[in-house]
Amino acid sequence: MQIGTPLERSTGMGPISSTPALDGSPALEPATRPTGTRPVASAVRATCKRLLDVSIASLMLIAMSPLLLAIAVGVKCTSRGPVLFRQRRIGLDMEEFTLLKFRSMRAGASTAPHQEFVARLAAGGVPDDQPIKKLTLDSRVTRLGAFLRHTSLDELPQLLNVIAGDMSLVGPRPALGYELALYRPEHFERFAVLPGMTGLWQVSGRCTLGFMEMLDLDVDYARRASLRRDLGILMRTPAVLFTTA
């Protein structure tokens, strides 16, 4: 007989701890923690979250369609290559999916710089608390792409990922496969929920936080996910984007 969630079985992790949340949210009681058979309350919350995701994402796609079209035309007219950038990421239960973004780099640009950063981080060549920032001043990034990255407008196509069910509006940052080498055992708990367009990491410091701090915040969110917490993060996100753009 198998005990625990598929994620717990695959990673060898024990039950989720009941330490206080990093943002002051109450910890889950043992009886409400995820198990192999999810409680009714958890299923209801997941259904409500899914309805909220689809409703808001659909409304945003409709309301922002002129902006999305303008960005698509701008990307196509200012550099050769496709409008959308597609990248394999790891989501719920460590399943891979294709994440969508507006292309901000020149066609065929290498992702080696980020892979090298992760390799140096794993080897101890980069401090754990070094901030993670989107590259804007980079020869691989187009002029329009730098603006899209600075304002996070490049991430708007992920609304399609939300509608498809690969992502949520709120959740951990979608992980890259080669980053898993840096994870401590508890970091795999972040895969117990859908990745999100925004999340606790984004509204808690965003580009001022280090890689490990981001992972810790993602785990904290996954352990104590709730609709109330999601709404709070959604309400804080616009202010964070405007103040850091």
State the Cα–Cα distance between residues 36 and 139, nearest whole angstrom.
48
DSSP, residue by residue, the chain: ---S-HHHHHHT--SPP-PPPTTSPPPPPGGGS--SS--HHHHHHHHHHHHHHHHHHHHHHHHTHHHHHHHHHHHHHHSSS-SEEEEEEE-GGG-EEEEEEE--B-TT---HHHHHHHHHHHTTSS-TTPBP----S-TTB-HHHHHHHHHTGGGTTHHHHHHHTS-EEESSPPBPGGGGGG--GGGGGGGGS--EEE-HHHHTTGGGSBHHHHHHHHHHHHHT--HHHHHHHHHHHHHHHHHH-
Residues spanned by the domain of 198: 38-244
- Is 29 a domain residue? no
Query: Is pLDDT larger for residue 217 or for residue 34?
Result: 217
pLDDT tens digits for range 152-206: 999 999 999 999 999 999 999 999 998 998 899 999 999 999 999 999 998 988 7
- Reported as a pLDDT band with limits 50, 70 and 90, residue 18 is very low
Distance CA(22)–CA(225), nearest Å, equals 12
Predicted confidence (pLDDT) at residue 28 exceeds the cutoff of 50: no
Residue 144 falls within a domain, yes or no? Answer: yes
pLDDT tens by residue, 79-134 = 999 999 999 999 999 999 999 999 999 887 777 777 777 777 656 555 655 655 55
User: Does residue 19 fall inside a structural domain?
Assistant: no
Comparing C-alpha atoms, which of 213, 178, 184 is closest to residue 13?
184
pLDDT of residue 40: 63
Report if residue 22 sits inside a domain. no
pLDDT in tens, 39-63: 566 788 889 999 999 999 999 999 9
Q: What is the pTM of this model?
A: 0.77
The dihedral region occupied by 93, where left means phi > 0, alpha psi between -120 and 50, and beta the remainder, is left
Which pLDDT band, with edges at 50, 70 and 90, does 208 fall under?
confident
Residue 25 in domain: no
Q: In this predicted structure, what is the pLDDT of residue 211?
A: 84
In a domain, 28, yes or no: no
186 domain-assigned? yes
Higher pLDDT, 20 or 129: 129
Residue 241 pLDDT > 90: no
Instruction: State residue 168 phi and psi, 5-degree precision.
Output: -120, 165
User: Is 7 part of a structural domain of the chain?
Assistant: no
Identify the pLDDT of residue 116: 77
- For the chain, the domain total comes to 1
